[in-house]
């Protein structure tokens, strides 16, 4: 927002994050974001505070960007943080105000929050709640924010006000550049977001299911994906078979979507998402079984795991297939050494019992099998000659189909992909 030219005050309850941000340091890894942060902190356009009073008295528009994780022991989304923001902010809004949600929420949440905010605020009906779902991808957050492929705004049709003109003004430079700006009602905006993620998850599980067919038929899923992807109606993106999707969004969003459909009496409509989830989780087990089969037994095997983040260019290990597989293999008796270019600290925090190496070479020293589970460029560009003198056995399993099998085989390695002969 500051980069788009606005004066921004970022509010957080975590004092350590605030002090890092004020010093121009990011509390997570995101390519290109630190430069944007530093530039805007230095110019004074971006400031940080823990004070809701500051936010309420100073801002014209309040964006909510807090997390909506999966509830413990349930599939539904945990809305405590979103509610927390409205409960603290609304009582301080003494004049007309616009609250715009960006968090991914179950359909119906924005309407409820509007009712709640108006009841809590001295300004009453002069408080509006609109919803502007976020579509950025980790690893491409800066580019997706400054050049989004679309903007969606949900408005409360029962309480029309100034929200549309306020948000149009916020995004005026993007709208002038021709970025599609879709204005709709609150429920549609909320559903656009979760439907987009459900579609992406379905696409990945589709190709992973086909990849299992390729395995039994001796076919190559990567060539198949290239061939079907040329059809524009299908498209090549999100057709990479492998150990499946993870992260803080796709897995929990499809589960929250199913849970909400159930609450609304439409669970049958989304029953297929259960299968999407099953296929996806099955990919992790399949990788563990593949390693067991290739090693004969996991007990005593030395396994090098390259990659821990849920995808490249991120240090995020939430529901990461790579880390999950590493953990399962270790629990079944193998010695597992993990290396990731950015996610080491986060991995250690949630999986302290795994061994961690400081480089790919160190992780592969003495290994009986090398697993590539996150397709970092550094791993895709690995050459067999670098690992040859280090490993105990020349066996590589490519959980992301990101290596060229002929390069490895021609150097005497056994190569296994997923859905590749």
Q: By CB under 6 A, which span of 237-245, 270-278, 284-292, 405-413 interacts with ligand UGA?
A: 237-245
By C-beta, is 70 or 104 nearer to ligand UGA?
104
Query: Could you tell me the sign of the dihedral formed by the alpha carbons of 213, 219, 221, 226, in that order?
Result: negative
By C-beta, is 246 or 384 nearer to ligand UGA?
246
Which phi and psi angles does 8 have, rounded to 5°?
-125, 135
Q: Does 249 bind ligand UGA (CB under 6 A)?
A: yes
Q: Does 100 bind ligand UGA (CB under 6 A)?
A: no
By C-beta, is 242 or 384 nearer to ligand UGA?
242
Question: What single string gives the DSSP state of each residue in 43-55?
Answer: HTSEEEES-HHHH
Query: Between vectors from CA 218 to CA 213 and to CA 220, what angle results, nearest 5°?
Result: 80
Q: Does 257 bind ligand UGA (CB under 6 A)?
A: no
By C-beta, is 81 or 238 nearer to ligand UGA?
238
Per the structure block, which two tokens stand in for 232?
């524009």
Q: Does 204 bind ligand UGA (CB under 6 A)?
A: yes
Please identify which residue in 3, 7, 12, 134 interacts with ligand UGA, judged by CB under 6 A: 134
Residue (of 114, 132, 131) closest to 123 by Cα position? 114
Helix residue spans in 61-133 (DSSP H):
80-89, 109-120
Q: CA 93: distance to chain centroid?
A: 33
Q: By CB under 6 A, which span of 12-20, 69-77, 122-130, 244-252 interacts with ligand UGA?
A: 244-252
By C-beta, is 167 or 322 nearer to ligand UGA?
322
Please count the CA atoms within 13 angstroms of the CA of 42 that sit on its side-chain side.
8
Shortest spacing between CB 344 and ligand UGA, in angstroms: 18
Cβ atoms of residues 59 and 9 within 8 Å: yes
Please identify which residue in 4, 78, 238, 411 interacts with ligand UGA, judged by CB under 6 A: 238
Q: Annotated catalytic residue: which of 249, 295, 364, 402? A: 249
Instruction: Say whether 295 is catalytic.
Output: no
Per the structure block, which two tokens stand in for 310?
């849920």
Q: Does 311 bind ligand UGA (CB under 6 A)?
A: yes
Q: Does 256 bind ligand UGA (CB under 6 A)?
A: no
Residue 145: exposure state from Cβ atoms within 10 A (0-12, 13-18, ≥19): middle
Q: Does 239 bind ligand UGA (CB under 6 A)?
A: yes
Please identify which residue in 310, 339, 376, 379 interacts with ligand UGA, judged by CB under 6 A: 310
Shortest spacing between CB 164 and ligand UGA, in angstroms: 22
* SS3 assignment, position 97: strand
55 sits in the region (left: phi over 0; alpha: psi -120 to 50; else beta) called: alpha
Residue 67: exposure state from Cβ atoms within 10 A (0-12, 13-18, ≥19): middle
Question: How many other C-beta atoms are found inside a 10 Å radius of the C-beta of residue 275?
Answer: 12
Q: By CB under 6 A, which span of 155-163, 196-204, 287-295, 298-306 interacts with ligand UGA?
A: 196-204
Q: Does 194 bind ligand UGA (CB under 6 A)?
A: no
Q: Does 97 bind ligand UGA (CB under 6 A)?
A: no
Question: Where in the sequence numbering do the catalytic residues fall?
Answer: 249
Residues that bind ligand UGA (CB under 6 A): 104, 134-138, 197, 200, 204, 238-240, 242, 244-247, 249-250, 310-311
């Amino acid at each position: 927002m500051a980069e788009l030219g606005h004066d921004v005050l970022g509010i957080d309850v975590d004092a350590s994050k605030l002090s890092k941000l004020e010093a121009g340091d990011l509390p997570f890894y995101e390519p290109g974001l630190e430069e944007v942060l530093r530039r805007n902190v230095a110019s004074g356009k971006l400031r940080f505070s823990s004070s809701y009073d500051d936010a309420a008295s100073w801002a014209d528009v309040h964006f909510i960007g807090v997390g909506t994780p999966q509830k413990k022991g349930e599939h539904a989304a945990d809305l405590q943080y979103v509610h927390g923001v409205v409960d603290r902010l609304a009582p301080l809004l003494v004049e007309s105000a616009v609250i715009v949600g960006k968090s991914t929420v179950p359909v119906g949440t924005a309407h409820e929050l509007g009712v709640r905010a108006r009841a809590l605020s001295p300004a009453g009906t002069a408080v509006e709640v609109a919803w502007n779902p976020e579509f950025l991808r980790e690893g491409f957050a800066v580019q997706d924010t400054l050049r989004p492929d679309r903007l969606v705004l949900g408005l409360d049709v029962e309480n029309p006000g100034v929200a549309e003109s306020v948000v149009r003004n916020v995004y005026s430079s993007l709208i002038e550049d021709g970025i599609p700006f879709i204005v709709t009602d609150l429920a549609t905006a909320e559903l656009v977001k979760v439907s987009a993620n459900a579609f992406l998850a379905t696409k990945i599980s589709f190709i992973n299911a086909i990849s299992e067919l390729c395995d039994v038929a001796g076919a190559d899923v990567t060539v198949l994906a290239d061939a079907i992807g040329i059809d524009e109606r299908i498209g090549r993106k999100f057709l990479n078979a492998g150990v499946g999707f993870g992260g803080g969004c796709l897995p929990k969003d499809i589960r929250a979507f199913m849970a909400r459909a159930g609450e609304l009496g439409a669970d049958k409509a989304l029953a297929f998402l259960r299968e999407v989830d099953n296929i996806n989780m099955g990919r992790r087990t399949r990788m563990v079984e593949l390693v067991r089969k290739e090693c004969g037994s996991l007990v005593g095997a030395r396994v090098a795991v390259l990659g821990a983040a849920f995808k490249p260019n991120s240090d995020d290990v939430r529901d990461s297939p790579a880390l999950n597989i590493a953990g399962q293999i270790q629990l079944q008796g193998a010695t597992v050494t993990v290396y990731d270019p950015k996610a080491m600290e986060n991995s250690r925090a949630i999986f302290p019992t795994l061994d961690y190496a400081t480089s790919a070479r160190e992780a592969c020293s003495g290994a009986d099998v090398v697993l590539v589970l996150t397709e970092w460029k550094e791993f895709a560009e690995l050459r067999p000659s670098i690992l040859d003198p280090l490993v105990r056995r020349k066996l590589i399993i490519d959980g992301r189909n990101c290596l060229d099998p002929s390069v490895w085989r021609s150097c005497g390695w056994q190569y296994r992909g997923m859905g590749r002969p």
